[in-house]
Amino acid sequence: MVQPKRNILITGGAGFIGSHVVRLFVNKYPEYHIYNLDKLTYAGNLENLKDIEDKPNYTFIKEDICNYEAILEIFQKYNINGVIHLAAESHVDRSIKDPFTFAQTNVMGTLSLLQAAKVCWDGKYEGKRFYHISTDEVYGSLEFDGTFFTEETKYDPHSPYSASKASSDHFVRAYHDTYGLPTIVTNCSNNYGPYQFPEKLIPLFINNILEGKPLPVYGKGENVRDWLYVEDHARAIDLIFHEGKIADTYNIGGFNEWKNIDLIKVIIKTVDRLLGKPEGTSDHLITYVTDRAGHDLRYAIDSNKLKNELGWEPSLQFEEGIEKTVRWYLDNQKWIKNITSGGYESYYNTIYKYLFK
Ligand code: NAD
Ligand code: DAU
């Protein structure tokens, strides 16, 4: 039987992780058509995809996932038969200041995509796939006791961001259980690498070191995160999209836990070294500040299910990953300056500043 052409809708493809996923799919699968749907909020940046924007199997669509009528039309017009859903409000600190936007985008936006897929596919689910990208933050917080989040860990979100992601995960599973929609959910740990918006710890701190600005460490810097290089996450998404079991959940992580303060010291050391400055030059920039409200103590992902069932493992050692990442930000200061100078700043970001800062 001739397989129908894969027309894949990737949402949030102009963001950090989404741009790596779009790039991987466009380059690896010239026989597919990749539709990158993104609203271009403050976090969406088409500069991230300059190298593939002219490829014949790639189309960018500027749209809001919450606009159900428009989304349904896109499903029908382009005969979408696969979805990889990454579009979201992703920054915990913003969610504390503006929870409504998080509920709107992350919950209602996901619902709008699910409903469009259900209506468009109309029970003909053969070969179809709705893959929802989620976070380990839905599981809550661990103690320093060597335990891990597994796929069986109960949801216990604490921030408005993680509550909105948890809610969207539940809607995705409900659409499978109620309507049979062929869904998959993955929950991943902290990503790092090129093209990450400089509000997140690693790019923010690299940029502040370059500018000689303080490095705001929340609380005592003792919180622990599990870091994964973004291209390894994109590889996992590719594998799971093609070979993951419908209705299943997979955890994705790096088995790479770092206490924030230790990670920050590695970043400082790496930046100073690559700039040819003596070790310790930028240590004085470390500034302890008021803790994030509801700050989860520790995240650690057990991704053995993914390893055992589909053979995925992180390919990059952290030392190599962080070196590559720091080098990328040093080599691409134009990219970061375009964001931090405000030259790039969108309307959304402007009103965010006035309303919530
Ligand atoms: P990001 O903030 O860098 O990018 C989000 C993208 O979504 C942006 O391009 C933005 O314009 C777009 N977007 C936002 N609202 C939209 C809307 N209403 N309609 C259409 N597009 C919209 O986020 P990221 O860090 O790349 O995260 C991507 C996904 O992965 C999110 O779902 C996030 O929850 C999840 N995730 C992120 C991490 C991480 O460490 N960054 C880890 C695990 C899971
Ligand atoms: O765990 C996955 C999650 O990782 C994703 O779902 C989120 O989308 C992503 O933003 C990320 O969330 P975190 O809150 O862990 O990432 P962030 O980079 O904001 O912070 C990492 C840690 O560093 C966290 O413990 C808070 C701390 N931090 C962060 C910033 C921005 C600081 O100490 N100072 C800072 O200025």
The 10s digit of each residue's pLDDT in 248-270 is 999 999 999 999 999 999 999 99
- What three-state secondary structure class fits 191? strand
CA 57 – CA 289 distance, rounded (Å) = 47
From the CB of 86, is ligand 1 less than 6 Å away? yes
Q: What percent of the chain has pLDDT over 90?
A: 94
Q: What local confidence, expressed as pLDDT, does residue 340 receive?
A: 85
Q: Which residue has the tokens 């499903």?
A: 75
Q: Bin 212: left if φ > 0, else alpha if -120 < ψ < 50, else beta.
A: left
Both tokens assigned to 308: 């055992």
Active site residue 137: yes
Identify the residues whose C-beta falls under 6 Å from ligand 2: 90-92, 135-137, 189-190, 200-201, 204, 216-218, 223, 225, 260, 292, 299
Q: Give the per-residue pLDDT at 191.
A: 98
- Count the neighbouring beta carbons within 10 Å of the beta carbon of residue 58: 21
Instruction: Quote the CA–CA distance of 25 and 30 in Å, as a whole number.
Output: 8
- pLDDT for 349 equals 43
Q: Which of 111, 113, 121, 118 is nearest to 170 (CA)?
A: 111
Ligand 1 geometric centre to CA of 150 (Å): 23
Query: What pLDDT, on the 0 to 100 scale, is given for residue 348?
Result: 39
Active site residue 257: no
CB 318 less than 6 A from any atom of ligand 1 = no
| Active-site annotation holds for 136 | yes
Spans in the chain with pLDDT lower than 70: 1-2, 342-357
Q: Is 214 helix (H, G, I), strand (E, B) or coil?
A: coil
C-alpha gyration radius of the chain: 20
Q: Which atom of ligand 2 is found nearest the CA of 90?
A: 8
Spatial distance between the Cα atoms of 206 and 274, rounded to a whole number of angstroms: 12
C-alpha distances (whole Å) from 234 to each of 4, 82, 167, 243 are 24, 16, 23, 14
Could you give the count of Cα atoms lying within 13 Å of 218 in the half-sphere of its Cβ?
A: 15
What per-residue confidence (pLDDT) applies to 345?
Answer: 53
What SS3 class is residue 352?
helix
By CB neighbour count within 10 A (0-12 exposed, 13-18 middle, 19+ buried), where does 227 fall? Answer: buried
